[in-house]
Chain A
Amino acid sequence: MASTAAPPGAVGKSPPRPDGPAKVTGATRYVDDLALPGMWHGATVRCPYPAARLLRLDPAPALAADPEVVVLTARDLPGPNVIQLIADDWPVLAAERVNHACEPVALVAAPTRARALAAAARVVVEAEELPAVLTLDEALRGDPRAGGQQPLVLAACTVERGDVEAGLAGADLIIEGSYETGHQEHIYIETHGAIGIWHGEEAGLEVIGSLQCPYYVHKALVRLFGLPPERVRVRQAPTGGGFGGKEDFPNVICAHAALLSRRCGRPVKIVYDRHEDIIATTKRHPSRVRHRTGVRRDGTLVAQDIEVLLDGGAYVTLSPVVLSRAVLHAGGPYRCPNVRIRGRVLATNTPPNGAFRGFGAPQTQFAAERHMDRIARALGLDPLAIRERNAYRPGDVTPTGQRLDASTNALECLRAAAERTRFRERWRAIERERARGRPDDGQPWQGIGLALVWHGSGFTGDGERRLGARAGVRLLPGGRLEVLAASTDFGQGTSAVFCQLVADAAGVPLEQVQVHEPDTAAVPDSGPTVASRTVMIVGGVLQRAAAQLRARLLAFAAERAGLKAERLRLVGGQVLDPQDRVVASFAELADAYLAAGGEASWIAQHQPPPEIRFDEKTYQGTAYPAYGWCCDVVEVRVDPDTLAVRPERVTIAADVGRAIHPVLCAGQLEGGTLQALAWGYLEEIKLERGRYLNDRLQTYIIPTVLDTPDMETILIENPTPASPSGAKGVGELPMDCGAPAIVAAIENATGIAVHALPASPERLLEARRAGQVVQPQHAGA
């Protein structure tokens, strides 16, 4: 048989994603597309007050109008009234005290969705309204839940390095600033949904949901129902977007659907409509960040004193972890010898805030980047110069004492984006134009702005060590391979990338690899699909498992052929001898191996190198195994009369370590960038008595394609040693960068300095009237 040339691997190419055809033909079945025999529908009864004592829940009117319906309250729970996450403060259903507007107090099930909703509306909720804490300022003044004299602190942490006071004392200049950001809603296009299927005490519970983290839900249900883990099964349905929003909240809606199913003895589906999804689910934490920075005249940072406040809403959810990431990124991608970052999450009587792409880092890096621009202006430096001077280089040490490795590409990203856009020249030209004065004739103002960020890939600190992610590969007849992982694909392309990594590591063609549905009854716990950890950490585990499979099969082939295993190679689905002759096809080898009773699954576990350690008490050590770096240059046009902002072009230069699938990788960067830009200038939630006013898609405004700039993505690949493939996380990185970049561009165009998001036309007008206007910089001209 003729020898075959080694086919190039799958990694680094952009093959069509395996779920693509089903999605473009409408064949993909999401939760609301599933109808199970005998299935009923659930609805939620909510209390309107931000803080209240529940007096009475009366289902009688609902039952009178429709005797078939089932109503369930906190009294009917089989186990602790707790949504399992970090703390035990979040109830499944409020029992006595209501801590935020629209908090669930009862559940209803009925044969149709319309009847369930009608019945829910008839359940009487009597409550006595209590004093509520609705904003960070009110929280600081004191929370009744904490005795009234002090805030209710949901989480706190501090990072310290060097001597901040000494650093400030020795600085040429101290620059201060305060920056604020508001809520952001995820607006995954598929709203939350879950189907609970109670199979009975013996057979246990099954839940199918739109979710990111099957094992989070599994753990929550095991606790709530008091069942042994093997009697709870959680399956992820195809999920229409997550962005972090389906990390924490599925624990709630899956519990609700499961409770109703157990009560009714039949499958029960709960799907929120958009309005309910917005009023009831978690948001990005609002923030207030204060900077006090000491600099030398040449722009060198000598001390950063930073205080981070996050509004956690009513319950702890994931706030301690969000705060941790917020604090660890708060200095920005800049070296500084003396740093102190103090962070707190305060409770308010607003719906709980939770996970959202970026996980606190977008908030603190918005502040850091706007503060860098403020420092630059104070020193007469341009935005590029101040960043070039301070950006981390390989070998620099972060505030946690982590020495940065060779894959530290802040400057590369900065320079790539700046050169591509001729940033310095154009930024200065616009500053000069503003200095000269422009005719007040309605002609649009152009602006260009830049931001530079870093984002840690993987869990913070020792999280990966504690988790010990497990994932693997199963060998199927015909030599097909199946990926076994609980990591979910909710749009990013996880499945496609897993197939590529496994195909190359196993030595089989891409078409031979498929991904098993994330199902706690069938796949090991590879951890939650969060924290930009999936490709880097879980991908690495899969590569190891696939390599073990390959070695085992080569050994088997060698035994059969009477050769030494190390003389055989598995390439492109063929076993080759040293003369490149085909010894066997992988398919026949696999069938023979399975027929001989060989093991069919290889499961590997993540083991971080022992030298990677993080002390969660002192916040010293390796905070993240790798960092992604990103620079955005945003070009805007601003209408001088309406202050309406049009982003026209965005250039994204991102260091992703290694792009396993360049098209999907760019897709993550571009999608995240738009979400970040929109958070920067468009998306806003106003509250009234603790309720969101922007509670539907007509009032919660996300960009249409007409609002969206052309995007160019520059992928910078400098592999990280932290993962076998060299890939770093890319999902969250762009979320940190877009908002400060567009606000900088608006400042360049208008001279208006906005320190709170969103930089809406209304806020720009308000800021201009308040005199928040910067002097044009023309010294360097």
Chain B
Amino acid sequence: MSRAFRPRSLQEAVALLGDPELGAVPVAGCTDLMVLDHAMRRSHRAVVDLLGLAELRGIRWAEGGGSAGGPVVEIGAASTFSAIRADPLVRMHLPILAEAAATIGAWQIQNRATIGGNLANASPAADSAPVLLALDAELVLVGPAGERVVPYRSFHLGYRKTLLAPGELIARIRVPVPVPGTRQRFHKVGTRQAQAISKVVLAMCCRREPDGLLRGVRFGVGSVAPVPRRLRGAEQACEGRPAGAATAERAAAAAAAEVHPIDDVRSTAAYRREVLARLVRRMVLELAADAG
């Protein structure tokens, strides 16, 4: 039988998870963990329930909360996707995060699955990941060695590998509040319209300066590499250039060239590469279209 712990504070949780004798596993929404536990008929020596920790809950505005000094929306890692998609701050400032949250599983899953779990589980197809890459989020990690803040873009080290140290947890996600006028786009290509794992999932964030040029372009993409990743080539193809067909084509070509997707049970490498390029192209064209 597993030993189960319901810590009263984040500090207690970290102490439990840092105890090698205990060999405890953190659990939150359980929407991935329970599937595997049951399919593999595996059990755990000990589990630490994070759902009850107030420090991991809530979505709030924090002035000067990010490393860059500007305001951030700070999201507790145990926030469910139902909470995220309904949150007024998220809907106003981070609409693509609300959009992504609404595409994860369906109602039942959104009521349970947490954003911290989605990231820590480290699936290359996690739908919140490209959004947080495009928004250049930071993660507040808490572990036996204390608290540290890391840019999310450096979080994934390889297939299902993250820089979380043993006993370390994601406590909060800090998303810099995009400056007014920032354009955000999200597109998920799943196996179907709901309850779907992504075949390609793409998010974009950028500004269109008064001179008509694109600045601060960031693309985050999932399901085309062992980890969710940025599209640096596509970003460079857009940065400082006018929105329009030429830029769109260049960005699309760059995106297709910089990813190495695979064939699997859900889709094909050829499809993923082609569709990624087409979606990059569409997003850049849409920037030009809603120029106003």
Interface residues of A (CB under 8 A from B): 114, 117-118, 121, 275, 441-442, 641-644, 646, 682, 686, 693-694, 696, 698-699, 701, 703-704, 706-707, 761-762, 765-766, 769
Contacts and interface: CB of A to CB of B under 8 A. Distances in A.
Contact of A642 (B41, B189, B286): B189
Given A442-B286, A642-B279, A701 B191 contact: yes
A699 B265 contact: yes
A747 B189 CA distance: 21
Given A641-B282, A642-B189, A761-B271, A704 B266 contact: no
Given A442-B286, A707-B193, 11 more contacts: A641-B275, A643-B275, A644-B189, A646-B193, A699-B265, A701-B192, A704-B194, A704-B195, A706-B194, A707-B192, A766-B270
A118 B41 contact: yes
Contacts of A704: 106, 192-195
B270 to A, nearest CB: 7
B34 to A, nearest CB: 13
28 contacts: A275-B39, A441-B285, A441-B289, A641-B279, A641-B281, A641-B282, A642-B189, A642-B279, A686-B265, A694-B265, A696-B39, A701-B191, A701-B196, A703-B192, A704-B192, A704-B193, A704-B194, A707-B192, A707-B193, A761-B271, A761-B275, A762-B268, A765-B270, A765-B271, A765-B274, A765-B275, A766-B268, A766-B270
A641 B278 contact: yes
Given A641-B282, A699-B266, A117 B192 contact: no
Interface residues of B, number: 27
A121 B41 CA distance: 11
Contacts of A441: 285, 289
Q: Is the interface of A mostly helix, strand, loop or mixed?
A: loop
6 closest residue pairs by CB, A with B: A641-B278, A706-B193, A442-B282, A762-B271, A706-B194, A704-B194
B271 A442 contact: no
Contacts of B286: 442
Interface in B229-286: 265-268, 270-271, 274-275, 278-279, 281-282, 285-286
A275 B38 CA distance: 12
B197 interface: yes
Contacts of B265: 686, 693-694, 699
Contacts of A707: 192-194
B194 A442 contact: no
B261 to A, nearest CB: 12
Contacts of B191: 701
Contacts of A643: 275
Contacts of A706: 192-194
A38 to B, nearest CB: 25
Nearest to A697: B195
A704 B41 CA distance: 28
Give the one of B265, B270, B286 with max A CB within 10 A. B265
B202 to A, nearest CB: 10
Nearest to B280: A641
B275 A117 contact: no
B75 to A, nearest CB: 26
Contacts of B194: 704, 706-707
Given A641-B282, A693-B265, A704-B106, A698 B271 contact: no
A66 B274 CA distance: 54
Contacts of A698: 197
Contacts of A686: 265
A707 B194 CA distance: 8
Nearest to B191: A701
B156 to A, nearest CB: 22
A266 to B, nearest CB: 24
